[in-house]
Amino acid sequence: MATPNTSLRTARPSRWRLFVRSLAGTGALLLRDPYALFGTVVYALFVLIALFAEQLAPFDPLEILFTPEGNLAADLRPSREHPLGTTSLARDVYSQLLYGTRSALLVGVTAAFCVVAIGTVVGLVAGYFGGLVDTVLMRLADIAFGIPFLPFVIVLAAFLEPSVWNVVLAMALILWRDTGRVIRSQVLTVRERSYVEAARVTGSSTPRIIFLHIAPNILPLSFLYGSIAVGWAILTEASISFLGFGDSNVISWGYMLQDAFVSQALSRGSYYWFVPPGIAIVLVVTAGFFISRGYEELLFPRLREED
């Protein structure tokens, strides 16, 4: 009994060192790949804006503004005071754009985390245990694959109180399927590797094997799916808001686009109102793709896209 323990003690740090090194390698790679670098810079910028939105925004994004003469400050064209003009409800577009960063990142990151966390655990458990557990989990994944995603989010968002978290919930309920399947097949190959075999033979507990020996090998793959899921979540939130199932008391880019569309920004020619939120979405989602591309180079040197 004593021998396995010592062997594990020596194995454990080396596993983690490997993982840490791979993370550092990831960082280095992200910086080397110009696209990934671009993605990282965009993310960093948006995080900064989200953190300091209150300081950066000239107005409260939901405040109804008035002109000095006491009239409603609605539909103003861009000016020094309102760099992107005001909405038909007399709110400052520029401030809304800055605040929108918050809900975008909040929704994006939380949803991505949920999706990846559930998917990874399901993939690990199904792949490692096989048998009945595997069958049940994979049939659940089949069912999840049989549910059209956007319609499902629409139904959920309509049935629950309007909130940005509906998107997170829907993604957690459905989109774990992709990550789960991929992680599972990755686990199937990893678990046959000699060091995992060794750990099993020497009697390491199952959770130990899963989380200490197998998980570090598949985490980069999880990150890859995570960085794509961030974009998915932001796009989905935008679509749901656009269809009118969003929360009108929380400013998001999707809400801004919906507001612009129903307030007839197209007919007014208010490009300064409906173009910027779209560009912001494109930027942050593309940034996620670029970072994931960096990961891809790391994981699959012969770039192979799986859908």
Partner 1 sequence: MKKFVFALVAMMLAAAVWAEGDQIRSFELLSRTQAEDPTEFQAAQLVAQEWRKLGLDVEHKAIPWEQLAQVVWFDRDPPDWDMTMWRMVGRPERSDPDELIYNLFHSSTADAGYNFIAYSNPEYDAVVEAQRVETDPDARQALIIQAQEILDRDQPNAFLVHPQQAYAYRSDIWDPATVVEQSGIGIKNFWTFVDAAPLTDQRDMILNSGVVVQAINPLYISGATDSWITELIWDRLLRISPEGLAEPWAAESYNWVDDTTIDVTLRSGMTWHDGEPVTVEDVVFSFQAPQGDESPMYKPFVSGIADIAALDENTVRFTLSQPSAAFLTATLAKINLVPLHIWGPILDDLSTKDENAESYQEEIPIGSGPFKYVNWLRSQEVVLEANTEHFSAPEIDRWILRIIPNAEASLGMLRSGELNFLSGYLGDPQVLVQTSEGQPIDVVASTEVGFRYVAFNHRAAPFDDPAFRRALSLALNRNFFVQAAYKGFAVPSNSPVSTALGFWTAPGITDLETGIELAKGILAEAGYTLDGRGRLHYPDGVTEQHGN
Partner 2 sequence: MTGISRFGRRFLQMVFVLWAVATILFFLFRLAPGSPLAAYIEPTFTQEQQESILRRFGLDRPVHVQYGIYLLNLLKGDLGDSFHLSGSVASIVRDVFPYTIALTLVSLIIAYIIGVLAGAFLAWRRGSVFEGITIPLVLTTRAAPEFWLGMILLAFFSFKLGWFPAGGALSPGAEFPNNFARFFSFDFLRHLFLPGLTLAIYLHGLPLLLMLSNMLEIMQDDFVTMAEMKGLSTWTILVRHAARNALLPVVTAFALGVGYSIGGNVVVETVFSWPGLGRVLVRAVASSDYPLAQGAFFVIAVVMIFMNFIADLLYSSLDPRVSSGDAKH
Contacts with partner 1, residue ranges (CB under 8 A): 64, 71-72, 74, 88-89, 158, 162, 243-244, 248-249, 258-259, 261-264, 266-268
Q: How far apart are CA 241 and CA 248, in angstroms?
A: 9
**Residue 93 to residues 10, 68, 248, 260, 282, Cα–Cα distance (Å):** 58, 19, 15, 10, 18
86 DSSP β-pair partners:
92
Residue 302 binds partner 2, judged by CB under 8 A? yes
Of positions 60, 272, 278, 299, contacts partner 2 by CB under 8 A: 278
Nearest-Å Rg of the Cα atoms of the chain is 23
Listed residue (131, 124, 137) closest to 211, CA to CA: 124
Provide the token pair at 32: 């080397």
When asked if residue 225 is in the footprint of partner 2 (CB under 8 A), the reply is no
Residues 231-250 touching partner 2, rule: CB under 8 A, are: 231, 235, 238-239, 242-245
Q: How far apart are the C-alpha atoms of 212 and 218, rounded to whole Å?
A: 11
d(Cα 254, Cα 243) in Å, to the nearest integer? 9
Q: Closest distance between partner 2 and the C-beta of residue 273, in Å?
A: 11
Q: Residue 159 or residue 249: which is nearer to partner 2 going by CB? A: 159
**Can you state the angle between helices 149-159 and 165-174, rounded to 10 degrees?**
140
Choose, by CB under 8 A, the member of 17, 197, 261, 262 that binds partner 2.
261
Q: Which residues bind partner 2 (CB under 8 A)?
A: 35, 139, 142-143, 145-151, 154-155, 158-159, 181, 184-185, 188, 231, 235, 238-239, 242-245, 254, 257, 261, 266-267, 269, 274-275, 277-278, 281-282, 285-286, 288-290, 293, 302-305, 307
